[in-house]
Amino acid sequence: MKRKEKSPVIFHCPQMENLAKAVITRSGVYALAKGIIDWNIFPDGSLDAVIGGREKRSGYIASMVRGRDVVFLASFDSPADIQNQMLVIYQLARHEAHSLKIILPYFPGTMDREDQEGRVVNAVGYMDQLANIPLQRGPAIVITFDLHVPHELFYLGHNARCRALSALPLLKGQRALLLSQENHTAVAFPDDGAYKRFAHLMEPLHKIICYKKRNRDARKVVIVEGDPKDQHVIIVDDIIMTGATMLECKNVLLEAGAASVSLFASHGIFPQESWKKFIDAGFKHIWITDSCPESAGAVRGQKPFEVLSLASLIAHAITE
């Protein structure tokens, strides 16, 4: 018997409320339905959440989860919240969703290797939990944007699949606007890793490659390829943490004759409010996405920051 088609249902953690609404708005004819979760905490600090809300909603699970294509929009930028979201994801899976997609814009996998005995490898631990989501009619699909370490997508094993997407299309829209205003625009990569990940997506712009060169006990950023002279240079990378490398890269480009320097990074993490270093630091534009809602909210409206929404890319990934 053929399953009656119903629109996908998108659930989300509290931090992703605004992004979830934007995704629904951009879903167009697919008309994503918004799922309800009442998130609370017990006095002992453990999760007290109810799918469908605390009001008695007869048949909510049967109508909104069981047999439906279910999406969960997660936020893993705050480690303290990850386990609570995992509990909800597992519960959605156990209620016999027809399919399950986990939208994980930022995956916190910067610690991806065991470089000393006994070190806890965060990325493997998180991926192990995602890989063991109870199976529905097929594997769960984990959709990420600009993984810091691309090989992490292979950690999932057989029970889940990773679809690794990029936020670079958002920059292309900004680039078109810039090119209409300026004739000389180039792109710079702060290291070889960024070049390998993004260079093929930035054709046909002139490319500049930087490198961290060790000088005794310090590391200095140098330009190893390309000429920034008289160019508006956009530094492109996947992630900003403390910002030290980006600031040094900007200084080197300006010293080499760049007319101006902007910055695009898919994920602005900014631990300990490190985003404040970029205020009045000499950047023309700094673009980040709303993949990390707390830091995106902190910089929104602060020049030279501009927050680009992933909503259109997420809506496309869900409904394509």
What pLDDT digit, counting tens, does each position of 35-56 carry?
999 999 999 999 999 999 988 7
211 and 160 in a common domain: no
**pTM of the full predicted structure?**
0.90
196 and 104 in a common domain: no
Which comes out higher in pLDDT, residue 124 or 266? 266
- Is residue 113 domain-resident? yes
For residue 214, the domain's CATH number is: 3.40.50.2020
Q: Is the pLDDT of residue 305 over 50?
A: yes
94 and 177 in a common domain: no
By DSSP bridging, strand 232-240 and strand 218-225 are unpaired
- Which domain covers residue 283, as residue numbers? 168-289
- Is residue 305 domain-resident? no
- Is residue 2 domain-resident? no
CA distances 102 to 76, 87, 160, 274, Å, are: 11, 13, 10, 29
pLDDT on residue 43: 96
280 and 213 in a common domain: yes
- Dihedral pair phi/psi, residue 247, rounded to 5°: -65, -40
- Is residue 89 domain-resident? yes
46 and 179 in a common domain: no
- Is residue 296 domain-resident? no
174 and 149 in a common domain: no
Distance CA 161, CA 144 (A): 11
Amino acid letter for position 199? A
122-126, 260-264, 284-288: lowest mean pLDDT where?
122-126
The answer to whether 252 touches 210, Cβ cutoff 8 Å, is: yes
130 and 97 in a common domain: yes
What pLDDT digit, counting tens, does each position of 88-121 carry?
999 999 998 888 999 999 998 655 555 667 777 7
